[in-house]
Amino acid sequence: MPANKVTTDSGIEIRQLYTQKDIELLKLNEQPGDYPFTRGVQPDMYRGRPWTMRQYAGFSTAEESNKRYHYLLSQGVMGLSVAFDLPTQIGYNSDHVLAEGEVGKVGVAIDSIEDMQTLFNGIKLEDVSTSMTINATGFILLGFYVALAKQQGADLKKITGTIQNDILKEYAARGTYIYPPKPSMRIITDIFEWCATELPRWNTISISGYHIREAGSTAVQEVAFTLSNGKAYVQAALEKGLDINVFGKRLSFFFNAHNNLFEEIAKFRAARRMWAKIMKDLGATDPKAMMLRFHTQTGGSTLTAQQPLNNISRVTIQTLSAVLGGTQSLHTNGYDEALSLPTEEAARIALRTQQIVAFESGAADTVDPLAGSYFVESLTADVEAAAWALIQKIDAMGGSVSAIEQGFIQDEIARSAYEYQRQIETKEKIIVGVNKFEVDKETSMPLFRIDDSIRAIQTEKLQRLRSQRDNAKVDQCLQILNDKAMSGENLMPAVIEAVEQKITLGEIADELRGVYGEFK
């Protein structure tokens, strides 16, 4: 790269100076809340209400996570965001041989309706919005949540929240899949269909660019691959005969926020504009079905184990990018998360970072404050053009599912990850405290560790559950689930009935493994 050439992390060249000439051909007369929503999905944005401040939390047992939720609610979070451990994510009970060493480690272990009852003990589901980062087993966790809401006497029409439920990015970037793509897509459209009538305020999918970015993609790839996946889900729902103007309103997105402030802001603005066009082209006529509403999490992969307190500054920059880009909700990472799960202190500072930006910075005082900036408007157009070029390549392959099956998306992410690491190692890219401004001696800091005794606790709970339930009823419910899976009927009613009869997550996942097989 020439010495005077500067690019974003996506390789978009940044000129030394931007002037009015750079934006003369752009249409910049739209209003916030109007198609194609470049300037935001609400006319008043944060003047009407601030973004939802969520803090992603879940670890150990349901009892321990419940304590953290009550603490976060007391500190001013406006919505809960649940992290599940790996066995829960891939459909194994805690006592399964493959769960050994992983129970409660990267999230909370949820094996049954009883764990869900404990997780939300003292929390009324009608009063709180809950986001659940769960994909392959998302339909089962939704079943637990609905069953618990019914036990609480809640009106299901008032229940709000989101399940991530985005299996395509698991094949492309993350790996917590169970079933092959076709049956996985069928389960997702079952959720769309069931929620449309039974749980109308629930966001049935959070189409995730976050993990694509964590795997090493650029900002442009994050937008292109995420929106392509979104397009595939919409097409699958349309093939099932669902109404795009109904299910389209319940689609949400999940993006990453990295350190290149202006590229991230441009990415969020471009993504809204692009999704509106995609939905219109697919037949949406209701503006609300064309809106890209999204949650943001600050970039886990940007956090450094070296000089971890520097991460507070990184998270602050990322918070600003999400807010100036028009996010609907936000999770801020703890400064210690490159080393361990966040301590209570780190989680509190992360939440305070959002609150300071909301109430002290002035960033939320006016809608889309960087609109009209020669640089930001030009960069928004550049990100959009580069993302469309990638989407066109994917469309030519037959769409996201086909592009994943051919390895295209995985290869593109791997290439970007390699290039990023190469730039760090050659010092073309400076990471403060890592390849420049290092210190000889690191300060030790308290870390939050989960021990392996959690598996024994969960195993004991499972043994007790199995001994106390009606096992004849269990066999009957599993047979009904199997029959519906074979016939193509909607699975959600059978799943809810199963969890109400104390059938475990692993038993439901295994029953469907017997029907659908596993993706290898």
**Average pLDDT of the chain?**
95
Which whole number is the average pLDDT over 341-346? 90
Other beta carbons less than 10 A from residue 197's beta carbon:
9
**pLDDT tens track for 232-270:** 999 999 999 999 999 999 999 999 999 999 999 999 999
How confident is the model at residue 1, as a pLDDT?
53
Q: Which residue has the tokens 């009106």?
A: 155
How confident is the model at residue 60, as a pLDDT?
84
Confidence of residue 444 (pLDDT cuts 50, 70, 90): confident
Which whole number is the average pLDDT over 442-451? 79
Confidence of residue 452 (pLDDT cuts 50, 70, 90): confident
DSSP 306-367: SSTTHHHHHHHHHHHHHHHTT-SEEE---TTTTTSBPPHHHHHHHHHHHHHHHHTSSTTSSS
Structural tokens at position 460: 């004991």
The pTM of the full predicted model, rounded to 2 decimals, is 0.94
> Which amino acid is residue 183, in one-letter code?
P
Per the model's pLDDT, the better-predicted residue between 27 and 170 turns out to be 170
How confident is the model at residue 448, as a pLDDT?
77
Q: How far apart are CA 238 and CA 273, in angstroms?
A: 22
Residue 3 has pLDDT above 90, yes or no: no
Looking from the CA of 163 toward its CB, the CA atoms found within 13 Å total 26
CA 440 to chain centre: 37
Other beta carbons less than 10 A from residue 204's beta carbon:
26
**pLDDT tens track for 369-399:** 999 999 999 999 999 999 999 999 999 999 9
Q: How far apart are CA 17 and CA 220, in angstroms?
A: 22
Other beta carbons less than 10 A from residue 20's beta carbon:
8
Confidence of residue 348 (pLDDT cuts 50, 70, 90): very high
**pLDDT tens track for 12-28:** 999 999 999 999 989 88
In percent, the amount of the chain with pLDDT more than 70 equals 99
Q: How far apart are CA 454 and CA 272, in angstroms?
A: 42
How confident is the model at residue 446, as a pLDDT?
84
How confident is the model at residue 262, as a pLDDT?
98
Residue 308 has pLDDT above 80, yes or no: yes
Residues across the chain? 520
How confident is the model at residue 399, as a pLDDT?
97
Q: What is the largest CA-CA distance in the chain?
A: 74
Q: How far apart are CA 160 and CA 162, in angstroms?
A: 7
Which whole number is the average pLDDT over 359-364? 97
**pLDDT tens track for 218-233:** 999 999 999 999 999 9
- Burial (CB < 10 A; 0-12, 13-18, 19+), residue 141, is buried
Residue 350 has pLDDT above 80, yes or no: yes
Confidence of residue 520 (pLDDT cuts 50, 70, 90): confident
CA-nearest of 331, 418, 214 to 222 is 214
Confidence of residue 2 (pLDDT cuts 50, 70, 90): low
Which whole number is the average pLDDT over 343-357? 95
**pLDDT tens track for 42-99:** 999 999 999 999 877 778 889 999 999 999 899 988 889 899 999 999 999 999 999 9
How confident is the model at residue 54, as a pLDDT?
87
